[in-house]
Amino acid sequence: MLWRYALFSCVLGMAGLPIYIHAPKYFVEQHEISLASLGLALLLLRGIDFFQDPLLGRLAASTSARGYVPLWIATAFMCFGMVMLFAIPAVTSPILWFCISLVLLFSGFSFAYIRIYALGVEVFGMEGQIKIAKWREAGTLVGICMAAAAPTVLSTYGSNGYKSFALLFCSLIILATFLLTSAFTKKFVNFQNQITSLFPKDAVLQKLLLFVFLNAMPVAVTSTLYLFYVDYVLGLEAVGGLLLILFFLSAASSAPFWTRLAELHGALPVLRFSMLISICSFIWAYNLNTGEVFAFSIICFLTGLSLGADMTLLPAIFAKRLAKTKHDANTGFGIWNFSNKLALALTAGILLPLMEFAGFETQDMRSTLSRDVLTISYAVIPCVLKVLVLIWLQTLIKRDKNL
């Protein structure tokens, strides 16, 4: 049963973060869309994706009694969106085709993400969350790594790598949905979900959501500036993709380690330990010089370990509390998604103008001032934010020892 859950999470991971890496590059190369138009389109799409999560959580809650029919509809949305994006030439304005494709893809993705996390609460209850998190998050991270490399690998066989990736994804998500349906349908035939308020009223859930929001901010900073730092500070543009895969593989492989520690010592103390690893290793990036690929590889590996703890333990802690308070898991994870994306939007919206104000110039990113501003923003600011999050986590541990 758990491997079916992990397989669905793996394929779902293929439709998430990697698409924001592949899709813009593909459309610029295939349709010669201007970067300005593409940037405005992505801003609009991010806005839609950002605001729809709470609504999708409510929709998932109101349709949960229908079993897996809504999940199949979400799968169809993802398949149509992926095929339109990479496998079918644009039949209208390329930028409009780009927007329609991504709206379909990410609407289906967000709904399926919310529903699969809610299913974990409904099937495994309060006590099984650490166990299921090990399988689910490891699957998700493996899927991210597969999708990051798939178009390049598939193109080596002489085919269109992006088209092959789209068709591969559709085949796998249909298979994964079918296997998940056959494994869990009976458990949900008579399941009646009580729709509660959209935002949790439980004080501990509210504190956890604030922690999720704060903890997402350092990741938002590093993910926004990663390519800039690798290219213009380290001069490692050629291996930037490989280092990113190392980062995610480290996170995926660490999931069993973190869940085992959480079972022995408690999830929140283990999370605190992983955050200390992240801070101590990442501050090292401030002193790196051009070409130090080995040192940065170690940083990617260690911070990947920390991400593995975040992705494995935080959803498990949140899901356990949802089950304990009987708050609807669908709306709960809808707000969870909203919190993560709000952190990303606010961080990018505040950080980038501040960097420009401090002297960072996109026209001359190799100047000494631009490099200094970029290095401080990428290496120091996330560590400062992580320390503040660590302080908030310590208050959670003291007040709510049963989490």
More confident residue, 275 or 63: 275
| Highest mean pLDDT out of 165-174, 191-200, 352-361 | 165-174
- pTM for the model: 0.75
How does residue 396 score in pLDDT terms, banded at 50, 70 and 90? Answer: confident
How does residue 294 score in pLDDT terms, banded at 50, 70 and 90? Answer: very high
| Highest mean pLDDT out of 117-131, 140-154, 284-298 | 284-298
How does residue 186 score in pLDDT terms, banded at 50, 70 and 90? Answer: very low
Looking at the predicted structure, is the pLDDT value of residue 262 above 50?
yes
Could you give the CA distance from residue 256 to residue 276 in angstroms, rounded to a whole number?
A: 19
pLDDT digits (tens, 9 = 90+) for 60-95: 888 877 777 889 999 999 999 999 999 888 888 888
Per the prediction, the chain carries an average pLDDT of: 82
CATH class label, 1-194: mainly alpha
Return the CATH number of the domain spanning residue range 196-403: 1.20.1250.20
**Which percentage of the chain shows pLDDT scores above 70?**
88
Q: In this predicted structure, what is the pLDDT of residue 117?
A: 82
Over range 337-359, report the average pLDDT: 79
Domain boundaries, the chain: 1-194, 196-403
**Which percentage of the chain shows pLDDT scores above 90?**
21
pLDDT digits (tens, 9 = 90+) for 216-255: 889 888 877 887 888 888 988 778 778 888 888 898 888 8
Q: In this predicted structure, what is the pLDDT of residue 372?
A: 87
Instruction: Tell me whether domains 1-194 and 196-403 share a fold.
Output: yes
Could you give the CA distance from residue 403 to residue 401 in angstroms, rounded to a whole number?
A: 6
pLDDT digits (tens, 9 = 90+) for 31-60: 777 666 776 777 787 778 778 888 888 888
Q: In this predicted structure, what is the pLDDT of residue 124?
A: 66
How does residue 191 score in pLDDT terms, banded at 50, 70 and 90? Answer: very low
Over range 274-282, report the average pLDDT: 92
Q: In this predicted structure, what is the pLDDT of residue 175?
A: 94
More confident residue, 288 or 224: 288
How does residue 189 score in pLDDT terms, banded at 50, 70 and 90? Answer: very low
Least confident of 3-12, 206-215, 234-243: 234-243
Least confident of 43-57, 171-185, 194-208, 379-393: 194-208
Looking at the predicted structure, is the pLDDT value of residue 193 above 60?
no
Least confident of 61-70, 151-160, 369-378: 151-160
